[in-house]
Amino acid sequence: MSKFKSHANNIALPHTIFSLPFALASAFMAAKGHPDAWTVALILLAITSARWAAIAIDNLADLKYDKLQPRLSYRAMVRGEISKTEALIFIAACLIVLVVAVAQLPPICLRLLPIAAVPFVIYPFTKRFTPWCHLWLGVAIAMAPAGAWVAVTEKISPPMVVLCIAVALWIGAFDAVYGAQDERFDKIHGLHSLATRYGAAGALKIARGLHVVSIACFVVVGLMLKMGGAYFVGVVIAAAALVFQHAIVRPNDYRFVTQAYFMRNGIVSVAIFICTWLSY
């Protein structure tokens, strides 16, 4: 049980709320409100295992930096509760589950899997060379709704692309806000972020702009798919949540940037999924 808790800590289990709701929303959109239950189960298994592998890879790649970052002292690998070997075994197991789950879906899913996997494998290393690393994370998360859509329809279509852009900008901008508090630490250790390139104030401005575009994309998806009014209520709730998140952060004041702040971002994905479901 102790080891299970350590692995749950290492993969930030509660943060699954960021990707799964959008995968479900995408499946409902693609199936016009009536996705096959078995397909949905396989989608959830594939995305969950992929996310767990991605987080474990990220923590393994950044371990030497995380050990120097006081606010990350709670992480299982930082505390030595999980060894590098155990992390690698866990990653391998998750990737096996991912491949097996995707193999049960339409053949196009397995063919596209390597492309979908590239962002989450590369993301942990992007902060070494680009200030736009946050968008790599966004693209990695956006592979969840993309995969769900393709699993249902067996094709890539314009609404799916716009939905993925919306999700990528949403999570990418949020990561820029959350990462702005590490501006000094990142500069000292030669890491890159929007805050190290444009300063915390600049990073927050860029994040606000990206979130505006993200919400606009969610609206466009609703119009393209002729979604019901409930869907747009969800978009309004998501927009309100983002406005609040930005309102309580200042370039020199990160008192409210806590785990609660982090989890509150999940309101966006949950609201849009529930309201997507209610719109059919």
Residue 78 to residues 72, 241, 260, Cα–Cα distance (Å): 8, 32, 21
Q: Which H or E run includes 233?
A: helix 229-247
Q: Dihedrals φ, ψ of 255, to 5°? A: -60, -35
Q: Cβ distance 186 to 200 under 8 Å?
A: no
pLDDT score at 243: 95
Six token digits for residue 184: 């000094």
Q: Burial of 164 by CB count in 10 Å (0-12 exposed, 13-18 middle, 19+ buried)?
A: buried
Which of 205, 240, 169 is CA-nearest to residue 22?
Answer: 169
Which residues 6+ apart lie within 8 Å of 215 measured at CB? 166, 235, 238, 239, 242
pLDDT score at 1: 67
pLDDT score at 113: 95
Token pair 């747009």 is at which residue?
A: 232
Q: What is the pLDDT along the chain (280 residues), one digit of tens a residue?
A: 677 788 777 777 777 777 899 999 999 999 999 999 999 999 999 999 999 899 999 999 999 999 998 888 888 888 889 999 999 999 999 999 999 999 999 999 999 999 999 998 899 899 999 999 999 999 999 999 999 999 999 999 999 999 999 999 999 999 999 889 999 999 999 999 999 999 999 999 999 999 999 999 999 999 999 999 999 999 999 999 999 999 999 888 888 877 777 778 889 999 999 999 999 8
Q: What gap in Å lies between CA 167 and CA 153, rounded to an integer?
A: 19
Six token digits for residue 259: 């785990």
| Cα 202 from chain centroid (whole Å) | 22
pLDDT score at 43: 96
DSSP assignment letter at 253: B
Sketch out the chain's domains with CATH numbers.
2-278 (1.10.357.140)
pLDDT score at 255: 82
Six token digits for residue 243: 């406005």
Q: Cβ distance 26 to 160 under 8 Å?
A: yes
